[in-house]
Amino acid sequence: MKKVCTILFILILKQLYCQDVEFSQYYANPLYLNPAFAGADEYARLSLNYRTLLPSSFGDYNTYSASIDKYFDILSGGVGFQIMNDRQAQGVVNDLGFSLIYSYHAQLRKRWAIASGFRLGYNIKSVNTNGLVYPDMIDPVTGSSETGMESGISQKSMYFDFSFGLLSWYDRYYFGIAVDHLTNPQISLGSENPGPVGRKYTFHGGMEIPIYNSLERVHMTLSPNLIVQIQGGASKLNLGVYLNKKMLTGGVWIKTNTNFNFTGSVLMLGYVSDLYTIAYSYDIPFYLGGINGIISGAHEVTFLYKFMYKSKRKKIRAIKCPKI
């Protein structure tokens, strides 16, 4: 039976309206970062992402994501589909979302391309506290649980959601903007008064710097990146750098906010081939401090597979953004 602290649940419920799920492997889940990424690769690709938050402290904060996208010449752009399920507090709070994405691609100059994307989503948010065990339900002698005096909550809210994104890349530079929850959809869970889902603004960009060996050949690449996200009263400013050598890539991100208060860091490692990508990352929260911050982080795993086929795609210069 589920054993969750009542205070913890209340905190979760209050945060339900203000924060979206955040993946640390931003570019390994590109459709979630920015809908303009749909069809950005030469081949169709399938991305599977799993994230578990604070496993040593609470044990069941899991997020699952699966997406597929492909470029179509007839549409002059890419089409994608994504499904994501976020489970909090052993499923007491659950968020299931489906998204259909289209992105238009255009080659402006020989080395300059741009894409604009639109996401139509349908979300099902639910709260069910009937499985919670409260202190007055536990027998102090036998430890068994009985029926308590608390009344459970079982509510569901369903709504459409819309997002828009722009993406541009020139040679080794790339930049994107995404706006989620354009219509500020209203949801009501555990309260008689519906609350809006705050609009989220994402700004991301970076570049790829080649590092040459003694033979003047590219030996490895260095990729500094910046991601800024603003939603409601919260702001995030994340600084990261990737080092890529052949099929191996590693990265470090520092998480802060617009006041430059450091909140955490992310360590990443991935194997990238022409056919697939496997990546792992670990979040370290600074706000817990000491050993608690080290052992109470978040694990994230990604598997990305490309469907290789003879491409007839119009020649649009590939974007050189990170793979994880």
CATH number of the domain within which 51 lies: 2.40.160.40
Q: Which residue from 126, 74, 139, 147 is spatially nearest to 105, judged by alpha carbons?
A: 74
In a domain, 320, yes or no: no
Domain containing 164 equals 6-307
The answer as to whether 314 is a domain residue is: no
pLDDT at 60: 72
Residue 316 lies in a domain: no
* Residue 108 pLDDT: 86
How does pLDDT run along the chain (324 residues), one tens digit per residue?
444 444 344 444 444 444 788 899 999 999 999 999 999 988 899 999 999 976 555 557 899 999 999 999 899 999 999 999 998 877 778 899 999 999 999 988 888 899 999 999 999 988 877 666 555 556 555 555 555 555 556 678 889 999 999 999 998 999 999 999 999 888 766 556 667 888 999 999 999 999 988 777 888 999 999 999 999 888 899 999 999 998 999 999 999 987 778 888 999 999 999 899 999 999 988 766 665 556 678 899 999 999 877 666 665 666 778 888
Determine phi and psi for 6, rounding to 5 degrees: -60, -40
pTM, two decimals, is: 0.85
Which residue's structure tokens are 């040679």? 171
Question: What pLDDT is stored for residue 13 in this prediction?
Answer: 45
Condensed to tens digits (0 to 9), the pLDDT of residues 269-320 reads 999 998 999 999 999 887 666 655 566 788 999 999 998 776 666 656 667 7
pLDDT for res 71: 92
Q: What is the model's pLDDT at position 201? A: 96
How many domains in the chain? 1
Q: Look at residue 224 in the predicted model and tell me its pLDDT.
A: 96
Could you tell me how many residues make up the chain? 324
Is residue 321 included in any domain, yes or no? no
pLDDT of residue 157: 85
The reply to whether 61 falls in a domain is yes
| Amino acid code (one letter) for 152 | G
> Would you state the pLDDT for residue 316?
61
Q: Is residue 1 part of a domain?
A: no
The answer to the question of residue 30 being in a domain is: yes
The answer as to whether 196 is a domain residue is yes
